[in-house]
Amino acid sequence: MAALGDITRIRTNISALNALNALKGINNRLNTSNLRLATGKRINSAADDPSGFSLAGTLRLRARRLGVAIDNLSDATNVLNTAESGLSGINDILGQMAEKATLAASDTQGSSERSAILTELNQLAQEIDAISQTTQFNGNVLLTAATMTFQVGPTGVDTARFTLASSFTSSSLGINTMTVATQTLASATLGSINAAITSVQTALQSIGALIERFQVKSDNLLQAQVNASAAASRIEDADLATEQLNKSNLSILLQTATAQLAGANSSPISLLQLFKA
């Protein structure tokens, strides 16, 4: 409650002091409103709202960490796509090898034809080895019996692993010592190739399932990031329409307070009438 002034006591002009205090208060509020309009933020320092400042900072940090996790998922998907591409190439080659072995498994083929087929099979097996070694991502050979761990969430325990149970060289697939010299041996080679195809297709299914999982997780993280940013915005950001209205009101009050201060400063002059003869 403001102190009441006595107009007959002019040494201390209480009315003017009250008007000055009101003017300073209005000016401070107007400065705050101008700052909010300039920055678009309701909270520009911890003093504006200590708890809100802390909570908004936590939410903004979570949104940034979610963004990094989303980037990690994109990179992990690229890794899986690279591995899938390599395995698809191997699968295609195995299909060609199965065709050749099927041809050799028929006694309609002579020894010279089977020898030519074996040469083709060995060349294709070497290409499988080349694909197995050159399918890499950032220096990591992917088609070997190795494990890669991806950070796919904002917490340390939110990880996913990509593991291939075996390598995909011709030796690991069991097709490095093929022979088609006879119908029986050609049939056995065909069986080995079919088993290798099954192994590759199983790995492709596993990679496809993991890619699908990463897509679902990425969508969920994107929504979580939006929600965290929206929550921080509701706490931290200014309502510009409200602030503009508040500024207009304060500007009017600033003018009226200035006028009242001027009036309070001039009111003691009326006492001079008491000293006139």
- Do 271 and 191 fall into the same domain? no
**Domain identity same for 32 and 155:** no
Q: What is the pLDDT of residue 260?
A: 77
Q: Is residue 32 part of a domain?
A: yes
pTM (predicted TM-score): 0.76
Q: Is residue 62 part of a domain?
A: yes
Q: Is residue 14 part of a domain?
A: no
Q: Which residue has the tokens 């299909």?
A: 95
Please give the pLDDT value at position 25.
82
Token couple for 230: 């929206």
Q: In terms of domains, do 189 and 156 share one?
A: yes
The answer on 259 and 191 residing in a single domain is no
Q: Are residues 220 and 145 in the same domain?
A: yes
**CATH number (domain holding residue 147):** 1.20.1330.10
Q: Is residue 12 part of a domain?
A: no
Handedness of CA 67, 68, 69, 74 (dihedral sign): positive
Residue 272, both tokens: 């001079």
**Same domain as 120, residue 109:** yes
Residues 184/207, Cβ–Cβ less than 8 Å: no
Same domain, 181 and 136: yes
Q: Which amino acid is at 250?
A: L
Q: Is residue 151 part of a domain?
A: yes
Residues 228 and 255 in one domain: no
How far apart (Å, rounded) are the C-alpha atoms in residues 186 and 168? 22
pLDDT at 275: 63
Instruction: Verify that 227 and 253 share a domain, yes or no.
Output: no
Is 30:250 a contact under the CB 8 Å cutoff? yes
In a domain? residue 20: no
Beta bridge partners of 163: 147
Q: Quick one: 151 and 103 in the same domain?
A: yes
138 plus 269 within the same structural domain: no
In a domain, 55, yes or no: yes
Q: Could you tell me the two tokens for 160?
A: 């996913």
Contact 43, 243 (CB under 8 A): no
> How much is the pLDDT for 69?
93
Centroid of chain to Cα 239: 27
Tens place of pLDDT per residue across the chain (277 aa): 666 655 556 565 677 777 778 878 888 888 878 888 888 888 888 888 899 889 999 999 999 999 999 999 999 999 999 999 999 999 999 999 999 999 999 999 999 999 999 999 999 999 999 999 999 998 888 998 778 889 998 888 888 988 887 889 999 999 999 999 999 999 999 999 999 999 999 999 999 999 999 999 999 999 999 999 999 999 988 888 888 888 888 888 888 878 777 776 766 666 666 666 5
Alpha carbon distance 21, 57 (integer Å): 34
What total number of domains does the chain contain? 2
- Amino acid code (one letter) for 173: L
13 located within any domain: no
Q: Which domain holds residue 33?
A: 28-47+238-275
Within this chain, do residues 252 and 161 fall inside the same structural domain, yes or no? no
pLDDT in tens, 82-102: 999 999 999 999 999 999 999
Which amino acid appears at position 277 of this protein?
A
SS (H, E, C) the chain: CCCCCCCCCCCCCHHHHHHHHHHHHHHHHHHHHHHHHHHCECCCCCCCCHHHHHHHHHHHHHHHHHHHHHHHHHHHHHHHHHHHHHHHHHHHHHHHHHHHHHHHCCCCCCHHHHHHHHHHHHHHHHHHHHHHHHCEECCEECCCCCEEEEECCCCCCCEEEEECCCCCCCCCCCCCCCCCCCHHHHHHHHHHHHHHHHHHHHHHHHHHHHHHHHHHHHHHHHHHHHHHHHHHHHHHECCHHHHHHHHHHHHHHHHHHHHHHHHHHHHHHHHHHHHCC
Contact of 79 with 244, CB cutoff 8 Å: no
